Amino acid sequence: MKIRAMLMAVSVAAAQVPYERIANADKEPGNWLTYSGNYAGHRYSPLRQLTPANVAGLRVRWAHQFELQRTQVSPIVADGVMYITAPNKASALDLRTGRTLWQWERPIPSDYQSIGFGRVNRGPAILDDRLYVATLDCYLVALDIRTGQQRWASRVEDYKPGYSMTLAPLAIKGKVLVGVSGGEAGIRGFVDAYDAVTGERAWRFYTVPGPGEPGNDSWAGDSWKTGGASTWVTGSYDAALNLVYWGVGNPGPDWNGDSRKGDNLYACSFIALDAGTGKLKWHFQFTPHDTHDWDSTHVPILVDADVRGERRKMIVNPNRNAFYYALDRVTGEFIAGREYAKQTWAKGLDDHGKPIVIPGSEPNEAGNLVWPSLNGATVWFSPAYSPQTGLVYVSTREVGSTYYKREAEYKPGTFFAGGGETRIPEDQQWGAVRALEAATGQMRWEFRLQSAPWAGVLATAGGLVFSGTNEGNVFALDASTGKPLWDFQAGGPVMANPISFDIDGKQHIAVAADRVLYVFGE
């Protein structure tokens, strides 16, 4: 009787991870409840047990092995369980031991192809009693967090012309948001919201406006139909303003802009959408008429800071185009910006944050050497923001490329790119973790890396910054000075975002390196 009563109690209990818990994630730092740790896109842990004084004592507590290499997952941690994903797969792991509690898999169709990116998945989202996973074949799936059994699977788009999903969904109150990959396949990008309980689509915002919509005239002729503007990295959310912020990818074809004359809105922009309706509140385009594949698919960082004596609600971004931007997140107004990595395509930014483009910096037939490379000064991996230091930490890539322009012909389900690049020799490429003042982008310190990184950054209240290298190092720096304090050789490149959480009241760090997810603790 007692056992039955217990089981009954569980079945009628309140939802495990209601929206209010995620909205107040900073109040329960032992968990990691959304992709960036909080809705503001900070990738910051309020945990303070690990400090510059003791971080050198970190060691591996357990590890989890994946089937595929170059794992990009950023796990979710809730109530003693870690939830992870791989392409079309999800698992729940016991947080104390790493033992697998359940697994879920959705077959990848045999005719599915990733056009222009690797087969990866960056993580799940959690809300109430469901785990949400975005799949390569472009389904959003809801799983029961206790068993991994499927509640529903909603088709977001047809994968055959090139739509796909690699991102962690964003779960907000009653809704789950996703974006799509496919910017090299001539898709028409969008951000979608689905009812968290039923899986019905609540709204869609096309990131390439159709005929009659504002912005459609920024695309010549019919070029809007294959304009790309993908949305493949998780957005941020301001509950008080009820606005969702999302980064938008490159216009297509990537390196040949002849057929798509105009600014190509909302490619290479941040967009602010009403979370209830999906209506556009404002947009800011970082790179008008991009011809270098500089997606602005970044996690938007929401920061409140003083600017010239006035408290501003800001949204900040170290962009793939090598400029740092601080905008007003209520209106989209440009506040400040500056170069934070080498670039040779613009003289600077004007008073409205528009780049002053140097003529002749586009790709051409013979090849044109430009900084940064197509992967940009930074790319999909997350920056971090510490409210304690007021600094934004970003893994920065110092690579130039010779850009070539070629013809592009649209055939559904094939590359629609119009050129390519040849990077400068490897021994001339390098990178750094840079600490930038959030309100201005001014650099405070940098920690140089051997090669251009692919790893995200985590900041903690203990005064630490964690990241990784292509050479397999997982490391910790002093958040105030950039001084290296701890490093571990993981045996494979780190191409993922670190997180932090508690196990039995002790602070731990988790990050994936190639095929292995490591959990570190004292």
Residue 354 found at the interface with other proteins (CB under 8 A): no
Residue 302 found at the interface with other proteins (CB under 8 A): no
**Interacting span for other proteins (CB under 8 A) from 9-17, 113-121, 237-245, 502-510:** 113-121
- Please identify which residue in 48, 106, 119, 444 interacts with other proteins, judged by CB under 8 A: 119
The full 3-state SS of 251-316, as one line of letters, equals ECCCCCCHHHCCCCCCCCEEEEEECCCCCEEEEEECCCCCCCCCCCCCCCEEEEEEECCEEEEEEE
Please, what is the minimum distance in Å from the beta carbon of residue 308 to other proteins? 37
Please, what is the minimum distance in Å from the beta carbon of residue 155 to other proteins? 19
- Dihedral (CA of 479, 485, 486, 487) sign: positive
End-to-end CA separation in angstroms for the chain: 42
* Long-range contacts, stretch 18-23, CB < 8 angstroms, 24+ apart: 18/127, 18/128, 19/127, 19/128, 19/171, 19/172, 19/173, 19/174, 22/126, 22/127, 22/171, 22/172, 23/173, 23/239
Give the contact letters, 239-278, x = binds to other proteins (CB under 8 A), - = no: ---------------x------------------------
Tokens standing for residue 145: 């967090």
- Please identify which residue in 324, 381, 415, 501 interacts with other proteins, judged by CB under 8 A: 415
- Please identify which residue in 213, 448, 491, 504 interacts with other proteins, judged by CB under 8 A: 448
Q: Specify whether 144 is catalytic.
A: no
Q: Pick the catalytic residue: 192, 263, 293, 502?
A: 293
**Interacting span for other proteins (CB under 8 A) from 109-117, 140-148, 222-230, 512-520:** 109-117
The answer for 320, left when phi > 0, alpha when psi is -120 to 50, beta otherwise, is alpha
Residue 417 found at the interface with other proteins (CB under 8 A): yes
Tokens standing for residue 138: 């472009």
119 vs 173, which CB is nearer to other proteins? 119
Residue 467 has φ and ψ, to the nearest 5°, of: -160, -165
203 vs 447, which CB is nearer to other proteins? 447
Sequence-distant (≥ 6) Cβ neighbours of residue 428 within 8 angstroms = none
- Please identify which residue in 211, 422, 491, 504 interacts with other proteins, judged by CB under 8 A: 422
Residue 450 found at the interface with other proteins (CB under 8 A): yes
162 vs 337, which CB is nearer to other proteins? 162
Residue 458 found at the interface with other proteins (CB under 8 A): no
CB 327 within 8 A of CB 353: yes
Residue 11 found at the interface with other proteins (CB under 8 A): no
CB 275 within 8 A of CB 383: no
Buried b (16+ CB within 10 A) or exposed e, 133-152: bbbbbbbbbbbebeebeebb
Residue 68 found at the interface with other proteins (CB under 8 A): yes
SS3 18: coil
- Please identify which residue in 367, 410, 440, 442 interacts with other proteins, judged by CB under 8 A: 367
Active-site positions read: 293
Site for other proteins, rule CB under 8 A? 68, 87, 110-111, 113-116, 118-119, 184, 254, 367, 402, 404, 406-409, 411, 413-415, 417-423, 425-427, 447-450, 469, 471-473, 475, 484, 487, 489
